[in-house]
Amino acid sequence: MSYIPPHKRHPKDPNGPSPVQDSLDTKFKKNLIFKSTSDKLNRIEYSGDSVSKWFLIGSNGIEDEIPPSAKLVTLSSDSVECINGKKPSILMSNTVQKESEEEERSRWLLVAEKVEEDLVLAYEKAKTAMEEHQHVLRLVARFGKIFFYGDHAGPVVNCSRKPLNKMFSADVPTSYLEHIKSKVLPSHGFCFDLEKERYTVKVSHYTRPSETIACKCTLKEDGKLSLHKAELSLVRHLVVDVSCIDKNLDMRLLLASKRNRTALTEKEMSDIRGVLDSATVDPNVKGGLRCPLGKSSSSDGYKVFEACHARSTVYTKGTLRLRFRETDRFNERIGTGEIKREVTLVLKDLNSKLQEQNIEKACLLEMLRDTLGTLWDFLHCDAYLT
């Protein structure tokens, strides 16, 4: 594969080891490159025994073979970023079958049986790290579209042996947000919880280039940043991507651990605050923050490499937590920025259940099905691609 310049790269997910081979994953993997060339740059971290899966679901349920009707359709939207001058393609069905919502939902619930074993295995391994390092596990569902970058469009079986890049894009259009707020939230009984605004400044030290410290800040009355908390980058333990070829949306199930950076000395905190104090809020620049020339680095080696301004609105229903977030991000190292709209559903109940000892399989499977039933209503939308 030809070299991709840093300013044209997307944050993609590497394909970690999987304890259970899926026939679809095995066959299609030959035509896909899952490992990202920009992971080091974007600081996406995976545990050493992480699980990564991808499969598709269509009119015949979960496919263990690539269906002849599957095709790659190249997107024409100008808002989609190209790689090597090529726009991404999405996987879709080539046939249209009229079925009731009940029939579609029954097929969708089969995903519970597909992911149950991987979920339990990932939690078993992640709990060890959680106990040793006081990590906090978090299970979420994200909605978006799986993009494929390559030279071919049309039936997947005709893609030859040339490699494609796979990336999950969690950026959704305004039309989808309006659909969720006007139809899905009222029907499921979600209630408004809170709104918040945060500035996240990512810094690194030249002596620890592989370590990213995310400084989450609020805005003080004088317009300066106030450090709320400092965290290390998330560690991913499980990534399950589901292509829904009969829909305009795909889903990602993600298990990751949050790591608070509590071991910083007073001197280190002082140096980081010095970097933050040099930043000026400016809504007219990418990332929402402006660092004076020559002031993005502290005298002791801390340097800003990314700034992000995020506005979030949170709705809740019991232990379910739905977050709408719009981010304005700028990466100083590669000199590019982006604005994204994301929808994330935090699965707190299922997360707690999976951390219990001696989980009853029947109980877990039933909870998974209930959760997937809720997720289906978020996927059941034809307003994604515009």
How far apart (Å, rounded) are the C-alpha atoms in residues 54 and 346? 20
CA 278 from chain centre, in angstroms, equals 30
3-state DSSP assignment of residue 96? coil
Strand partners for 312:
196, 325
> Could you identify the residue written with the tokens 């040339």?
162
Contact of 151 with 86, CB cutoff 8 Å: yes
Closest CA to 313 of 283, 352, 343: 343
Q: For 287-342, what is the HEC assignment? A: HHEECCCCCCECCCCEEEEEEEEEEEEEEEECCEEEEEEEEEEEECCCCEEEEEEE
How far apart (Å, rounded) are the C-alpha atoms in residues 288 and 329? 8
Cα angle 377-359-113, degrees, rounded to a multiple of 5: 40
Q: Give pTM, 2 decimals.
A: 0.82
| 335-341 long-range Cβ contacts below 8 angstroms, 24+ apart | 335/7, 336/7, 337/286, 337/287, 340/170, 340/171, 341/171, 341/172, 341/173, 341/174, 341/177
Give 10-residue mean pLDDT values along the chain (386 residues): 45 42 42 38 76 86 73 74 74 75 86 93 86 82 88 54 71 89 92 95 84 90 88 90 87 89 78 88 89 62 89 95 95 80 95 89 92 88 52
Interhelix angle 361-379/111-133, rounded to 10 degrees, is 110
Strand partners for 232:
213, 259
User: Pseudo-torsion of CA 45, 48, 51, 54, nearest 10°?
Assistant: 60
CA 315 from chain centre, in angstroms, equals 19
How far apart (Å, rounded) are the C-alpha atoms in residues 226 and 231? 15
DSSP sequence for 24-44 = HHHHHHTTEE-S-TTHHHHT-
- Give the pLDDT score at 136: 87
> Could you identify the residue written with the tokens 């990336």?
167
- Host H or E run for residue 342: strand 336-347
Contact of 41 with 333, CB cutoff 8 Å: yes
Contact of 94 with 174, CB cutoff 8 Å: no
How do beta strands 89-93 and 225-244 pair?
Answer: unpaired
Contact of 310 with 326, CB cutoff 8 Å: yes
DSSP sequence for 161-198 = T--EEEEEE----HHHHHHIIIIIHHHHT-EEEEEEEE
Tokens of 342: 């994301």
- Give the pLDDT score at 27: 42
